[in-house]
Chains A and B, each alone.
Chain A
Amino acid sequence: MREVSTKDIIKAVRDLCIDANYNLGKDVEDALGKAYEKEESPVGKATLSQILENVQISKQGEFPMCQDTGNAVVFVDMGDQVLIKDGNLFEAINEGVRQGYKDGYLRKSILSDPIERKNTGDNTPAVIHLDIVKGDKLKIIVAPKGGGSENMSEVKMMKPSDGVEGVKDFVIDMVKRSGSNPCPPVIVGVGIGGSFEKCAEMAKRALLRPIGSKHPNPFYANLEAELLEKVNKLGIGPQGFGGTQTALAVHIETYPCHIATFPAAVNINCHVARHKEAVL
């Protein structure tokens, strides 16, 4: 067994919250640059130019990329040989988020109750997804998720007879209905299979994949490419002003499912897919 200290977890999570909000991943920045080259609409090009400028300003460390510094969604892959003796993992993650959102001048956007709607004041509690994997490392991914894009997401319990055409219709319709709201060009996460809640989680995990990465199964890789092409024909464009670059990528994740079900989920991300990881 290998011990990991909660002190290290807190510091890692704190630093990841700040890093994710100020420093855009290179794959996303490159994708935005390519979108600028390809965009045919003048307003769309001007918009992407401002977005790219904004990414550079944010790297200087004074202003986060977006004022919506998001719900702290945290994915943890905990090695089965990892032992945490000096505290509780979830409490440590939340303390890291608390510190990161304070020290990083990030917005506190979490409400303690969805109906009463009083702010918790420190952007906790985080939403934590924990998986046990083989090994002695603790991998933490912090993926702040903004509200605007999150609102443009859905789970659909389709019939098995709806088939792959049903998935295509669902994804394209979701991007169309979202329109300008999720700050296009978007990244589309799709989860297929699992269960009602599992496919939603998979759709969100799909957003963590490097932009331009293909699904290892050629069938799904082709489906990703086909959906990206079709979604870009919707004409929504950057910020919904009209244009050819409506989405930067479509990523699909799948999981085995029940014989009577065909669940699917779409989780839309804005054009800044913010996620940073640390391995302890």
Chain B
Amino acid sequence: MAQKRIKTPLTDEVVKDLKIGDDVLITGEIYTARDAAHKRMVELLDKGEKLPFDIKGQLIYYVGPSPARPGKVIGSAGPTTSGRMNKYAPRILEAGSKGMIGKGEMGSGVQDALKKYTGVYFAAIGGAAALIAKSIVGNELVAWEELGAEAIRKYTVKDFPAIVVQDCHGGNLYQEGVKKYQRV
């Protein structure tokens, strides 16, 4: 499987070229947010207020890492279950984000939003948390420090490994992959 190298921020052109099953290496900056930060971001969007960072073209990584050892940028940093963000992801895509990185299938509302706003959903391998940590070379607080592990942070990544699991063309690897190997 040939690996595609992509750089953030992403454009519509780059996103349209990505299909489910594509093996990618992501370089650039990605933003992290989980349940609590998403709730706040959507509240801001509802009020017509600005988000605490420029979201245009950016990817959101659903993660809550283990603590960094002294001298290290980050601890283990694999993905958390994306399904909990189903409700929020379409609004974030609408606001200009080009996609998400997480694990596990995201709902049909998100699949529709990926098509409507030209977005892509990548899976990072749950279980490759230490391997993923090695691709994170920078780690900066962006907003809401009081949320602790749920604050918005910005990771600088170099060759962060991910797989396209839900694309802007309606493709869903969780469904199509399973259908292929189902022997019931």
Give chain A's interface residues, CB within 8 Å of chain B. 40-43, 46-47, 50-51, 53-54, 57-58, 62-69, 105-109, 119, 148, 151, 179-181, 183, 233-237, 239-244, 270-272
| Residue of B130, B134, B163, B165 with most chain A CB atoms under a 10 A cut-off | B130
A242 to B104, alpha carbons, bound, how many Å? 12
B1 touches A42 (CB 8 A): yes
A253 to B4, alpha carbons, bound, how many Å? 46
Task: Provide 26 A-B residue pairs closer than 8 Å at the C-beta atoms, listed in order of the A residue.
Answer: A41-B180, A42-B1, A43-B21, A50-B127, A50-B131, A50-B161, A51-B125, A54-B129, A54-B130, A57-B130, A64-B129, A65-B127, A66-B126, A105-B67, A107-B66, A107-B67, A180-B174, A181-B83, A234-B184, A237-B178, A239-B103, A239-B126, A241-B173, A242-B173, A243-B177, A270-B126
Q: Is B29 an interface residue (CB 8 A)?
A: no
Number of A-B residue pairs having CB atoms within 8 Å of each other in the complex: 158
Q: Given A43-B21, A64-B75, A67-B76: A240 and B182 within 8 A (CB)?
A: no
Q: What residues on A are CB-neighbors of B80 within 8 Å?
A: 68, 148
Q: Is B141 an interface residue (CB 8 A)?
A: no
Q: Given A119-B148, A183-B126, A235-B181: A106 and B72 within 8 A (CB)?
A: no
Q: What residues on A are CB-neighbors of B78 within 8 Å?
A: 66-68
A239 touches B67 (CB 8 A): no
A105 to B181, alpha carbons, bound, how many Å? 39
B129 touches A233 (CB 8 A): no
Q: Given A57-B130, A63-B129: A239 and B123 within 8 A (CB)?
A: yes
Q: What residues on A are CB-neighbors of B174 within 8 Å?
A: 179-180, 240-242
Beta-carbon contacts under 8 Å, B143-184 to A: 148-149, 161, 163, 165, 173-174, 176-184
| Residue of A64, A235, A240 with most chain B CB atoms under a 10 A cut-off | A240
Q: What residues on B are CB-neighbors of A239 within 8 Å?
A: 103, 123, 125-127
The 0/1 profile, CB within 8 Å of A marked 1, for residues 115-147 of chain B is: 000000001011111110110000000000000
A51 touches B127 (CB 8 A): yes
Q: What residues on B are CB-neighbors of A108 within 8 Å?
A: 149
Give chain B's interface residues, CB within 8 Å of chain A. 1, 21, 23, 63-69, 72, 75-78, 80-81, 83, 103-105, 123, 125-131, 133-134, 148-149, 161, 163, 165, 173-174, 176-184
| Residue of A64, A67, A239 with most chain B CB atoms under a 10 A cut-off | A67
Q: What residues on B are CB-neighbors of A242 within 8 Å?
A: 173-174, 176-181
A36 to B158, alpha carbons, bound, how many Å? 27
Among the listed A107, A179, A243, which residue makes an inter-chain contact with B105, where contact means beta carbons less than 8 Å apart?
A179
Q: A62-B69, A235-B178, A241-B123 are in contact. List 4 more A-B contacts (CB 8 A).
A: A50-B161, A107-B67, A237-B181, A242-B179
B165 touches A107 (CB 8 A): no
B149 touches A107 (CB 8 A): yes
- How far, in Å, is B149 (CB) from chain A's closest CB? 7
A234 to B81, alpha carbons, bound, how many Å? 21
B75 touches A244 (CB 8 A): no
Q: Given A239-B123, A239-B125: A58 and B178 within 8 A (CB)?
A: no
| Residue of A42, A43, A53 with most chain B CB atoms under a 10 A cut-off | A43
- How far, in Å, is A150 (CB) from chain B's closest CB? 11
Report the nearest A residue to B181, measured CB to CB. A235
Q: What residues on A are CB-neighbors of B126 within 8 Å?
A: 66, 148, 183, 239, 270
A107 to B130, alpha carbons, bound, how many Å? 14
B129 touches A67 (CB 8 A): yes
A270 touches B127 (CB 8 A): yes
A47 to B177, alpha carbons, bound, how many Å? 13
A43 touches B127 (CB 8 A): no
A66 to B77, alpha carbons, bound, how many Å? 7
Q: What residues on B are CB-neighbors of A183 within 8 Å?
A: 103, 126-127
A264 to B178, alpha carbons, bound, how many Å? 27
Q: What residues on A are CB-neighbors of B63 within 8 Å?
A: 67
